[in-house]
Amino acid sequence: MHNHTEHDHNHHHGHHHDHHEHDHGRHDQHEGHHHHHEHMIEDFKKRFYISLILTVPILILSPMIQDFIGVNWRFTGDIYLLSALATVVFFYGGWPFLTGMVDELKQKNPGMMTLIALAIVVAYGYSSLSVFGLAEQNFYWELATLIDIMLLGHWIEMRSVMQASNALEELAKLMPNEAHLIDENGNTRDVSVSELKQDDHILIKPGEKVPADGEIMRGESEIDESMLTGESIPITKQKGDEVIGGSVNGEGALTVAVKKTGEESFLNQVVNLVREAQESKSRTQDLSNRAAKWLFYIALAVGAVTLVVWLSLGYPFAYALERMVTVMIIACPHALGLAAPLVVAVSTSLSAKKGLLIRNRASFEGARQLEAVIFDKTGTLTEGAFGVTDIISEKSEEELLKLAASLESHSDHPIAHGIVKEAQEREIKYSEPEAFESLTGKGLAGTVEGQSVQIVSPGYVRNKDLPYDEESFQKLSEEGKTVVFVIVDDELYGMIALADQIRESSRAAIKKLKEMGIETMMLTGDNRRVAEWVGKQLHLDDIYAEVLPHDKSDKVKEIKGKGLKVAMTGDGVNDAPALANADLGIAIGAGTDVAVESADVVLVRSNPADVVSIIEMSKATYRKMIQNLWWAAGYNIVAIPLAAGILAPWGIILSPAVGAVLMSLSTVIVAINAKLFKV
């Protein structure tokens, strides 16, 4: 039962003052991670520009390029200058790839970094031999252009998708910094929340955030826990009831005995759940990384076979080595470095225009395989605000609503907002009440246009033995609706039923997901009756109600355990662990910063129908990436066998110069194809 009590709206302007006052100390590493990510982007950008500038003289000095364009700009010592410039590009521009290769090999998981590093090490090593006359030709120009393009690809990709997550920092912001500690003499003094101990008594003033989990010793108030538990309306709490740190006190002053502090607190448990989920989230390799892994093994295998075959045919070691080096350099196509990043950049930009902010690329890529979407209720499938659903009265509905809205216009309760909004939408003119009072825990009373008006809870009506339509009341209660009664001049005038209103866009989203063969579920902290009513309205496949935050993440794990690829959509703190645990976490943009920071994709427009857009965008992005990878790989499929000399008996062998032309062509095609991306 939700008691309908009055809130003085004036205090609401003051209760956000502590939102930004928080202790950063525990979360320095997360802020550091964010700055580290920005630093990496700047680092790739700087390395790209410096390497690009040095590449110009490398191309001019390269004998192979000179031969290709039919000029001779050779001079004494030019090879040493070329080698010196290429050495700077190799160590400075190639450093991220060399260190990346070391990391990948330590993890026994070679990917893009290893493939790039293999190509540049082989190109640099062989070219250095040519300086001392131990090899026929150098590949310094290949080395420089490969490093340039790979640096550009990584820079584009990192800039497109900022993957830093500040979820834990955002969680810390929910807790106030200070608490009003009551000493033995009944005096209060402000202390840091970190100083609070179990059984300390604290004062919580109207509109303040609760600084720690505890039990009410004195006072009565309504507590807004919606951010934490998903319960859609404030809950009346009195002596003996528990309060949660981070929830917002209503208009009553409370004396609370602290029961849980630090690590034991509810909010800290949520923090730990999010941290664990983020750390354990699968390090999914994206598409280009998986392609690079295979190309690495192919390059090693084909390179070794090429060397052995040419040597067995009686060719000199220098020639066999040149063939092997050509194969291994060609195996790392420039186009591959741009195939995915360019698509990501275009896809991220298009998604942003559609109101989808992609934060985790690998998870977004996987959205095309989703089999189930779990929705939070309050603020996601529903508006998160009360609206009038039914008016039952033998008198005039308009008159009933007019009197109710007149009295409720002085209250700041969610139910009051719902009734006033309904009157405004029906264009019913309501007046100022001549008198107004709050009946604590029961409702409101006042005088409207000379009539005595009361808006009260079902409990009040029963206590007064007033007759009412019990059948209608029962039906509305079973649907999880909140019912208030309107009494005019001691006569029961009728009842108004309210519920958290379902978003119209939710209906369209669920319908479309079902058409795509995707299961739809709801996971909510709200009571079962309310949840079942919403589920019935939307024809959901499964409903999980009265679920606590840690249970939410367990539920997601349980559903994933059935072999389903799962997305979770939510907006509250209570959703954060579940968002972080899902294969794809989707945050409603109008929700809490915590949810947003825990998610892989953010829906800016707070429209559940955009979940469908994510899946469609993911499928389109994947198709375009596959196309680009085939264009990039097509170059390899043709060039590697030719470089190895498979057609040598017929006098056809791929020279490095022709290889360069094919490489450039594949890179241009990949770039154009990415730009043609659309959904």
User: Hey, which residues are catalytic here?
Assistant: 376
Q: What is the separation of C-alpha 211 from the centre of its chain, rounded to a whole number of angstroms?
A: 28
First to last CA, the chain: 48
Hey, what's the torsion of the CAs at 519, 520, 524, 526, to 10 degrees? -130
Work out the angle between the directed axes of helices 95-106 and 28-61 (0-180°, nearest 10).
Answer: 120
Hey, what's the torsion of the CAs at 569, 554, 535, 171, to 10 degrees? -40
Q: Are 117 and 328 contacting, i.e. CB atoms less than 8 angstroms apart?
A: no
Work out the angle between the directed axes of helices 112-131 and 78-88 (0-180°, nearest 10).
Answer: 160
Nearest Cα neighbor of 111 from 271, 288, 274 is: 288
Q: Are 186 and 242 contacting, i.e. CB atoms less than 8 angstroms apart?
A: no
Distance in angstroms (rounded) separating the CA atoms of residues 483 and 3: 10
Distance in angstroms (rounded) separating the CA atoms of residues 42 and 419: 54
Q: How far is CA 349 from CA 69, 176, 346, 589, 621, in A?
A: 39, 37, 5, 17, 12
Tokens of 549: 């935050």
Distance in angstroms (rounded) separating the CA atoms of residues 649 and 639: 17
Q: Are 677 and 347 contacting, i.e. CB atoms less than 8 angstroms apart?
A: yes
678 phi, psi to nearest 5 deg: -155, 160
* DSSP 8-state secondary structure symbol assigned to residue 12: G
- Other Cβ atoms closer than 10 A to 299: 24
Nearest Cα neighbor of 256 from 212, 208, 193, 191 is: 212
Distance in angstroms (rounded) separating the CA atoms of residues 346 and 677: 7
Q: Are 548 and 525 contacting, i.e. CB atoms less than 8 angstroms apart?
A: yes
3-class state of residue 405 by DSSP: helix
Can you list the positions of beta strands (E) in 503-565?
519-523, 542-544
Distance in angstroms (rounded) separating the CA atoms of residues 486 and 416: 13
Q: Are 617 and 358 contacting, i.e. CB atoms less than 8 angstroms apart?
A: no
Nearest Cα neighbor of 552 from 598, 491, 603, 605 is: 598
Tokens of 226: 């919606």
Contacts of 3 (CB under 8 A, 6+ apart): 236, 441, 442, 443, 457, 459
The residues that bridge with 180 in the sheet, in sequence order, are 190, 203
